[in-house]
Chains A and B, each alone.
Chain A
Amino acid sequence: MQITSPRFKKNAHEALQNPPLQKAMGNVEVNFIGRRAASAAALPEFEALRDNARDIKNHTLQHLDLYLEAYERKVTEAGGHVHFAEDADAARKIILEICRQKGAKTVTKGKSMISEEIGLNQYLEANGVVPVETDLGEYIIQLRGEAPSHIIAPAVHVNKEEVEAEFRRVHTHLDPKRDLSEPTTLLAEARGELRAKFLAADVGITGANFLIAETGTSVIVTNEGNGDLTQILPRTHIVIASIEKITPTLNDVGQILRVLARSATGQEMSVYTTFSTGPRRPEDPDGPDDYHVVILDNGRSSMLGTDFEDMLRCIRCGACMNHCPVYHAIGGHAYGWVYPGPMGAVLTPTLIGVDKSGHLPNASTFCGRCESVCPMRIPLPKMMRHWREREFEQHLQPKAARWGLKTWAWFAKRPRVYQLATRVAMGGLGLMGRAKGRFASLPLASGWTTYRDFPAPEGETFQAQWAKRRKAS
């Protein structure tokens, strides 16, 4: 997909001026936060499970080479095929090649963020294979020609009137006078339309929440059942997943499952947790004849051993964006690529470069809510700070910002000069603003004063007050 992360500021500005988007985003804050809190509170072991989930992933990452090998062995033993892809292009080519070998005309797809990351749909279409997204949210945005705006609720930015308009535009073989005013009728229509596609597809492509080394199994966690119809009806099942999805054992998956759905939707378990191992067995009456797993690196192996290694623990639950005030305000599309919100602000620079996405780690109030709800205890704010440091080191910020930071740093490293300068500046500003108590505009601070007044400083500086109190006590 087209990357618009470099235009983040413009995107954000437009999002704030978009009433339907603002209405849709209102649902996010109301629903997700309360549900997560209630389900976490209902499980006394929740915090201990978060600790253990973090430890399991850390252990796995430290031994990732060996677990990858063990996983590959088990898939092969079960009659499946493992393909390794270094980057998006390699992954797309492997998948297209399998589709061609099977003579596939249409492929059904379960929801997969990796598929979005590698731009699979556009590639398949350009090469004569029709991809059909089957998750309701993904289906809606595929019809609208959009990218997902949330990693677990891809159409969260769309209102039901917009869904109705889209269905009327595309489903022209249905009665134009039919009632589509309610979400139930919209869902029923999508179910009917997609059922035929499930039964006709030659290949089914799903993502994976886990790849289990103990058994060579891929796991998907869904609520609709579309991922299951995608993988049991066509003759070929292709799984696309990134290297960090490897999890040692079934029991380790059991631990992480207990924090995944609770953090995502507030459910104790998602409706369907499906463990798929190899192709159908000779005696099986259904299931795919062929089973392929495409394991994608795309820069992740280089994150190991760096400041960003912790990000590889991410299980894509969406809790960080559900709790992010910036995400609530602007929605997911403003972030300009596949992964939005705090996890996107950390992951996107790794995958497409901080030169293109330097705005994202700056789009944070550092309120810390993302880290406090992350089931895998990923220190997201800390990693956004790391990106800001890299951005500075690589001279990527505008000259004025660099000059400002350098000037500030010069003062900050000289406490006496800093104290003197702030005392003079605050005193001066205080005097100038005494009449009104505020400034409507200030040089170098238009980013603030365009939208609100800047209060005039009163009394002494914080450091002066602190010093005085210490002396008094």
Chain B
Amino acid sequence: MGEEEESLVTTTARDAILGRVRRSLGVSGTEINRRAAVADRLARAPRGVIPARGQIEHDARVALFITKIEAVQATTERVASPADVPRAVADYLRRHNLPQAVRMGADPRLEAVDWSREPQLSVAFGRSDGRDLVCVSHADAGIAETGTLALTSGPANPTTLNFLPDVHVVVLDAADVVGDAEAVFEGLRARFGVGQLPRTVNMVTGPSRSADIEQTLLLGAHGPRSLHVVVVG
């Protein structure tokens, strides 16, 4: 099938489908009020029903985030400042008998940290090819309501680091813990522009799991077997 023919076929299918939708709805697609209703919803993006659970003051919100993400089998620890992150990561690796080697992206918040303070820890940068046991990412936000991390793709935090390692360590600034997913969406609109998103936004709520064999819950199906969150501040 040539390029031209393909576009002809799909354009016809497109018009046929839209035509059938319109016939079934009894509309033409040019109605001003319908077009206004759609434009209004897309522009306004109403928040809807937001559970009260996450709508609390900052300290309680961070505490709720930690409770919630631990309830889905992630582990957490809290450190006072970014300078404490290398030690926290190295200690975590030691506690779990893991080699002192991690991979991370070019996130300025991770690059600003002096990793040489842990001389045994070797740090590689860039995307993963699947041979890294442990990867470190910096989250954009944490959602207290459900204990969910939000991560965005790009050189700062390549998406492969979220899924290929056995152990995923995620650094999260306590100041970035928000009440609900809608606050994350608002942040994305502010950062990337209204109607724009980076290639991938990952919302991660615990380590990978499957219950496909006899409904038995098992961790580490295809993604990380362990998720460790270092909350800074």
A residues apposed to B, CB below 8 Å: 24, 27-28, 30-31, 43-45, 48-49, 52, 56, 59, 62-70, 72, 74, 78, 83-86, 90, 94, 97, 134-137, 140, 153-156, 158-160, 163, 183-184, 186-188, 191, 194-195, 198-199, 213-215, 217, 223-226, 228-229, 232-233, 243, 248-252, 254-255, 257-258, 265, 267-281, 283-287, 295, 297, 301-306
Q: A214-B195, A248-B41 are in contact. Are A305 and B203 (CB under 8 A)?
A: no
Question: Which residues of A lie under 8 Å from residue B37 when comparing CB positions?
Answer: 59, 63
CB-defined contacts of A31 to chain B, threshold 8 Å:
211, 215
- A interface footprint on B193-218 (CB within 8 Å = 1, 0 otherwise): 00111111111111111111111101
* Complex: A388 Cα to B139 Cα, angstroms: 53
Is the Cβ of A69 less than 8 Å from the Cβ of B20? no
A250 CA to B201 CA in the complex, in Å? 12
Q: Are A215 and B222 in touch, CB under 8 angstroms?
A: no
**Contact across chains for B222 and A194 when beta carbons are under 8 A apart:** yes
Contact B24 A224 (CB under 8 A): no
Cα-based distance from A284 to B6 in the complex (angstroms): 29
Q: Taking the nearest CB of chain B, how far is it from the CB of A272, in angstroms?
A: 6
Residues of A within 8 A of B163 (CB): 225, 228-229, 232
Judge whether A136 and B221 touch: CB under 8 Å: yes
- Can you report 11 A-B residue pairs in the complex whose CB atoms are below 8 A from each other? A31-B211, A154-B212, A215-B196, A224-B210, A249-B45, A268-B68, A269-B148, A276-B200, A283-B154, A301-B21, A301-B24
Minimum CB–CB distance from A363 to chain B (whole Å) comes to 24
Q: Are the C-beta atoms of B197 and A217 separated by less than 8 Å? A: yes
How far, in whole Å, are A274 and B152 apart by their CA atoms in the complex?
10
B46 contacts the other chain (CB 8 A) = yes
CA distance A303 to B23 in the complex (A): 11
Interface with A: B26-34, B80-88, B89-97, which one? B26-34
Q: How far is the CA of A31 from the CA of B211 in the complex (A)?
A: 11
B233 at the interface (CB under 8 A from A): no
A301 and B205 form a contact (CB under 8 A) = no
B18/A287 in contact, CB under 8 A: no
Contacts of B35 in A (CB 8 A): 66
Interface stretch, picked from B57-65, B108-116, B178-186, is: B178-186
User: Cα distance A269–B147 when bound, in Å?
Assistant: 9
